[in-house]
Amino acid sequence: MDHQADAQRTDLMTITRFVLNEQSKHPEARGDLTILLSHIVLGCKFVCSAVNKAGLAKLIGLAGETNVQGEEQKKLDVLSNDVFVKALSSSGRTNVLVSEELEEAIFVEASHRGKYCVVFDPLDGSSNIDCGVSIGTIFGIFLLDHDNAGSNDDVLKPGSEMVAAGYCMYGSSCTLVFSTGSGVNGFTLDPSLGEFILTHPDIKIPKKGKIYSVNEGNAKNWDEPTRLYVENAKFPKDDSSPNMVADVHRTLLYGGIFMYPADKKSPFGKLRVLYEVFPMSYLVEQAGGQAFTGKERALDLVPKHLHERSPIFLGSYDDVEEIKKLYSATIA
C-alpha cells in the first residue's frame, strides 16, 4: 500500500471545503447558502446511487403516472423528486420549491422555512436511462427579500436574479457543476471517498467552438434563422469541421452552441424557463458565454407561469452572437 499517496489525498479540494472557502470571502454570510448547497449535494449523491443500480433495483420502467408536462413518469423520476423535495425542505433554508414533476409549487411549513426558493428538474432526460445515456439534475436558487410565507411570485422573476445554479450529471462519472455568481466550477464524485472533488476549476467556455447540438429531426419545422445557422455550421465557409452532440455539459467545456429553437410544432419552445433555461443560461454566462431566446437575453425573461417554456440558444459568445445577427436580419 502506498501510504504516502494516500496521505496526499487528504489535501484534495472537496466541494464542502470549496464552499466554505467561498463563504469565508463574505464576512456577512451566515452560512445559509452553504447549508442549502450541502443538502443539494446529498440529494445528488443519493440519486447517483439510485441511477447506478436502477436496472438491478427494478427502478426502470413506468410508475403508472403522468407528470404535469404530459410525460409518463419513470420510477426514477418519482424517486428523484421525492429525494430532492425532502433534502431541500429538511435543510431549513428553503421557502418555495418548484419541481418539473409537480404541477404546483411546494410551500415549506413555517417550522422549516428559510429565505431561499429552489427551482429544479430532479431527473432531466430520464427517458434515456435504459440506453445508458447521461442524465442529470438541474437546479436554480433565488433569494427571498422577505421573511413571510412564499408565493409563486417569488420565483416568477428574471433569471438574472438567481443567486446560484448548477447541474449534476450521472453518467460514466458523477459530475456536479455549479456557480454562486463568481465563476463556474466542476466537481467529480470519488466513489471511494464519497466526496465530490474539484476537477474542473474556473470553467471558461471557449469564445468560439466547433460543436453544435440540436435535434435535427425537427428541421422541417424550424424558422429561417435557425435553418441558416445550422446550414452554415454544417457547410462552413472555412475549413473547420463541426460535430453533433446533445449535451450542454460538453458545450460548456469545449465551446460551441446548444440549440432548442421554437418550431412549427412548438412555437413557444420546449424547454422550461425556470428549471432548465435559467440555470443553464446562468452557468453559461458565468463561464463567459451567452444565452439567447431568439428575441432577448435568456436571463431577462420574466415567466408568467411556473412551467412556462422558451426557445434557447446558449454557448460560446461568438457562436450565439452569430445566431443573434441572423434573427436581427429576419426582423429587419
For residue 258, the SS3 value is strand
Cell numbers for 250: 460538453
Q: Which residue has the higher pLDDT, 10 or 35?
A: 35
Q: Are 314 and 289 in contact (CB under 8 A)?
A: yes
Q: Are 315 and 205 in contact (CB under 8 A)?
A: yes
Q: What percent of the chain has pLDDT over 90?
A: 61
Q: Are 139 and 275 in contact (CB under 8 A)?
A: yes
Q: Which of 33-42, 237-246, 259-268, 306-315 has the lowest mean pLDDT?
A: 237-246
Q: Which residue has the higher pLDDT, 214 or 253?
A: 253
Average pLDDT, whole number, for the chain? 86
Concatenated DSSP letters of 64-133: EEE-TTSPEEEHHHHHHHHHHHHHHHHTT-EEEEEETT-SS-EE--GGGEEEEEEEEEEEETGGGGGGT-
Q: Which residue has the higher pLDDT, 234 or 158?
A: 158
Pair (104, 146) in one structural domain: yes
Q: How many domains, the chain?
A: 2
Pair (70, 136) in one structural domain: yes
Q: Please check the confidence at residue 243 and state whether its pLDDT lies above 50.
A: no
Q: Is residue 3 part of a domain?
A: no
- The Cα–Cα gap between 45 and 67 comes to 24
Pair (69, 98) in one structural domain: yes
Q: What percent of the chain has pLDDT over 70?
A: 84
Q: Among 142, 175, 202, which residue terminates a domain?
A: 202
Q: Which of 116-120, 128-132, 279-283 has the lowest mean pLDDT?
A: 128-132
What integer pLDDT is reported at residue 38 of this predicted model?
96
Average pLDDT over residues 224-242: 69
Instruction: Write b or e for each residue in 170-184: b if 16 or more Cβ atoms lie within 10 A of its Cβ, otherwise e.
Output: beeebbbbbbbeeeb
Pair (143, 56) in one structural domain: yes
Burial environment of residue 296 by CB neighbours within 10 A (0 to 12, 13 to 18, 19 or more): exposed
Q: Are 51 and 65 in contact (CB under 8 A)?
A: no
Pair (176, 222) in one structural domain: no
What integer pLDDT is reported at residue 158 of this predicted model?
98
Q: What pTM does this model have? A: 0.88
Q: How confident is the model at residue 4 (pLDDT cuts 50, 70, 90)?
A: low
Pair (166, 256) in one structural domain: no
Q: Among 202, 235, 254, which residue terminates a domain?
A: 202
Pair (222, 198) in one structural domain: no
What integer pLDDT is reported at residue 130 of this predicted model?
65
Average pLDDT over residues 47-74: 64
Average pLDDT over residues 94-117: 96
Q: Among 143, 167, 202, which residue terminates a domain?
A: 202
For residue 4, the SS3 value is helix
What integer pLDDT is reported at residue 66 of this predicted model?
61
Q: How confident is the model at residue 135 (pLDDT cuts 50, 70, 90)?
A: confident
Which of 6-15, 154-163, 207-216, 229-238 has the highest mean predicted lDDT (pLDDT)? 154-163
What integer pLDDT is reported at residue 61 of this predicted model?
55
Can you say whether the dihedral through the CA atoms of 119, 296, 264, 219 is positive or negative? negative
Average pLDDT over residues 86-109: 96
Q: Please check the confidence at residue 240 and state whether its pLDDT lies above 50.
A: no
What integer pLDDT is reported at residue 244 of this predicted model?
28
Can you say whether the dihedral through the CA atoms of 70, 212, 320, 164 is positive or negative? positive
CATH of the domain at 225: 3.40.190.80
The residue assigned the cell 464519497 is: 194
Q: Please check the confidence at residue 263 and state whether its pLDDT lies above 80.
A: yes
Q: Please check the confidence at residue 6 and state whether its pLDDT lies above 90.
A: no
Can you say whether the dihedral through the CA atoms of 249, 83, 270, 165 is positive or negative? negative
Q: Is residue 8 part of a domain?
A: no
Domain limits at 277? 211-330
What integer pLDDT is reported at residue 7 of this predicted model?
52
What integer pLDDT is reported at residue 11 of this predicted model?
79
Q: Is residue 7 part of a domain?
A: no
Average pLDDT over residues 67-75: 59
